Structure 1
């Protein structure tokens, strides 16, 4: 067997073992967040109970529309539903990787996609999403697929962003990006889809919806905002200042400034029709403006890494990949106040997000366009279409 074929088989073997591990894990482990979603679907029509009582000793923090989506799932036995959910999460992540590859101009054969998916499953935000049974892979898939539709000028572009925002509010930042980038129709479709999904949530759970939209969605006290996993500026400020209550009235200026700066960079990339860059910056900006950006929310590292590779910054991409695999923030779980290098390590996702947006802003000043897709892994020496990315 030739060496490229051996590497291809090795990649497929690793991916198969990862999928087997996901199934075995899902069968044995009661993933906390999925259990909360499942319980949310079970009680969504029971008055305001969805937000008035803790489910599985934790609050349900997502929208009534999301709980309504889980209503039919809650009729499936928990273990069976969990296994199906985790497998679907891997499928959604694979779809996300395919969308990101195509947005970046990379050819997307099965072998290439397998390489990116297998590598991506080692990233801490992704495997923690599986560990918790989180919804992040589905949101990433919806948004990136929709951005591809926007780039192609499809009629129903915007629906995916609207649904994602109706499930979890933070993807709504993509509506702003589309509007500012001049994609008025797509922005309108996104906003309309968001409103329609919200109305559906009202129809299914009117009392819970009134509680949620009357202010519960802004309440960060339901989660530990200063917990090390919260890699937002608000989380960093809470850790530095001794708790969320010590963050003063000045803080709202921070997300406003970061949001404006990030949107300016993302829109500039969108107006260049560089949609991979626009999506990566917008997703990162959403993490910077949200008061809660758990470590598993940082799945937006995937399009960011692919952009860096496409731009010829392979060493930077390798360093960022290693950072998000090792996730050293967990080595500093109790760092509060300023503690030199330890504080930097404890906020490494946040700092990497700020650095990425800054790099993308600096990159806009260059007159050259991003480099042509470059080889990530050479899986064949005989047929170029089997390489991970086409050669110039």
Structure 2
């Protein structure tokens, strides 16, 4: 028996050893001596504070909460009560919604369900589904990140990635506007990663494209993987949604495909600061539409090279991340809340960086971090932080800042494609 210094209590040597080991752990692990329930409470309070601050600032700058959901609901109500007015220039009074319906008739059929319930009920229901699906995607993506980078599990736990995702600009604005972006992204992602076959994914993107046309670009994923059948299934599913409405409501279907879909001004000004696409950048500098078409084709080529070259080494989650980013870049209008694909894109860059020899790695990750920061805040919020309104005439540096986002995303993708192609040529030459 010996005396522990500073105490009047006798302890056996084994107890002293255990005590010293415990105290040494306390000096290295934050909050290790704190009871687990207290740690949980502190984490929950911190998460709640971040989310509340994020949403409070965004809500203050938002014109009308649930504005896009009002468009869905108004389109469904118009289909039920006055079908011929579905594609009128404006539906409803100002802010209720005071906007045109820009989706295929198939979407109006689905949205008619919301017209049969109170606005508040439908808005909460849509956002609840978005939240659940979004968290399922985050959980799967975080698990993959931990498997790819084991050390990341310590500084990137699930609760942190979920908080960042929910507080980020695309998710935040999707919730505030009552958009369907997260549901469409989640439907494509979860069917792609949960099934060995790509056929469920193909059906999912075909149905999603029946609601919003952009998911059609995700057929680049099976194309890069050399899978023809999923492409045919996706195209067939989409055509089935359009043929169904053509049979039941031919006038509306023809009006959509001959008038509404060819008028991009129906979804807002292409030059608006929140349009984070190639077309948005070019519109702000007055470039002709032909240049956008050329750059869009080149962009698809860049992403195809990256996805095709790494098809046997890159996970399906990363393939989908690259495909989603490509779709967002080439779309005429990609508001910041459409970039719910960015977490998947960032994961794709991270996985690709372990497979190819990237030059200028620090510049590569700085560009990725810059793009993530712009999206986390969103262009509209950045402008408001400087005392300006997004609808006003803005100084030149604002447009440069947001053009750099598109350049950063395209630059990172080009670096991956070029490095993958170069590595493949080097390996082929070495084998020969």
Deviation at 1:70, TM superposition (A): 1.0
Moved more, 114-123 or 225-234: 114-123
- 1:306-354 CA distances to partner (integer Å, 9 max, x unpaired)? 3445547896465543332233564284798994x44321324322321
Deviation at 1:283, TM superposition (A): 0.8
- Asked if residue 210 in structure 1 is aligned to residue 254 in structure 2, the reply is yes
Q: In the superposition, relative to structure 1, how do residues 70 and 103 fare at CA in structure 2: closer, same or farther (>3 Å)? A: farther
Give yes or no for contact 2:69–2:179 (8 Å, CA) kept in 1. Answer: yes
Specify every segment of 5 or more residues in structure 1 that has no aligned partner in the other structure, as ranges: 369-392
- Residue correspondence of structure 1 range 124-203 to structure 2 within 5 A: 124-149=169-194, 152-153=196-197, 156-203=200-247
Give yes or no for contact 2:322–2:348 (8 Å, CA) kept in 1. Answer: no
Q: Which residue of 2 aligns with 1:116?
A: 161
- 1:29-81 CA distances to partner (integer Å, 9 max, x unpaired)? 64110000011111124333111241221111122111111111210101111
Distance 1:274 1:128 in 2: 29
Distance 1:131 1:288 in 2: 23
Q: CA RMSD in A?
A: 3.5
- Asked if residue 327 in structure 1 is aligned to residue 378 in structure 2, the reply is yes
Give yes or no for contact 1:328–1:348 (8 Å, CA) kept in 2. Answer: no
Distance 1:60 1:161 in 2: 21
Q: Which residue of 1 aligns with 2:12?
A: none
- Asked if residue 52 in structure 1 is aligned to residue 78 in structure 2, the reply is no
Structure number with larger C-alpha Rg: 2
- Asked if residue 32 in structure 1 is aligned to residue 78 in structure 2, the reply is no
3-state SS of the aligned residue for 1:67?
helix
Distance 2:33 2:238 in 1: 50
Alignment equivalent of 2:306, drawn from 260, 265, 271: 265
Larger relative contact order (Cα-Cα within 8 Å, sequence gap ≥ 6): 1
Distance 2:291 2:393 in 1: 20
Moved more, 28-37 or 87-96: 28-37
- 1:253-300 CA distances to partner (integer Å, 9 max, x unpaired)? 121121222222223333434223211211111112111111111111
Q: In the superposition, relative to structure 1, how do residues 10 and 146 fare at CA in structure 2: closer, same or farther (>3 Å)? A: farther
TM-score between the two structures when normalised by the length of structure 1: 0.79
3-state SS of the aligned residue for 1:142?
helix
Give yes or no for contact 1:41–1:74 (8 Å, CA) kept in 2. Answer: yes
Distance 2:269 2:137 in 1: 29
TM-score between the two structures when normalised by the length of structure 2: 0.72
Moved more, 286-295 or 11-20: 11-20
Alignment equivalent of 1:86, drawn from 116, 122, 127: 127
Q: In the superposition, relative to structure 1, how do residues 319 and 230 fare at CA in structure 2: closer, same or farther (>3 Å)? A: closer
Distance 2:84 2:215 in 1: 25
Specify every segment of 5 or more residues in structure 2 that has no aligned partner in the other structure, as ranges: 1-30, 92-96, 355-360, 425-432
Give yes or no for contact 2:221–2:320 (8 Å, CA) kept in 1. Answer: no
Give yes or no for contact 2:102–2:261 (8 Å, CA) kept in 1. Answer: yes
Distance 2:130 2:398 in 1: 33
3-state SS of the aligned residue for 2:167?
coil
Give yes or no for contact 1:50–1:60 (8 Å, CA) kept in 2. Answer: yes
Distance 1:52 1:284 in 2: 31
Q: Which residue of 2 aligns with 1:220?
A: 264
Give yes or no for contact 2:210–2:241 (8 Å, CA) kept in 1. Answer: yes
Q: In the superposition, relative to structure 1, how do residues 171 and 105 fare at CA in structure 2: closer, same or farther (>3 Å)? A: farther
Q: Which residue of 1 aligns with 2:332?
A: 291
Distance 1:21 1:251 in 2: 34
Q: Which residue of 2 aligns with 1:387?
A: none
Distance 2:310 2:395 in 1: 35
Give yes or no for contact 2:371–2:405 (8 Å, CA) kept in 1. Answer: no
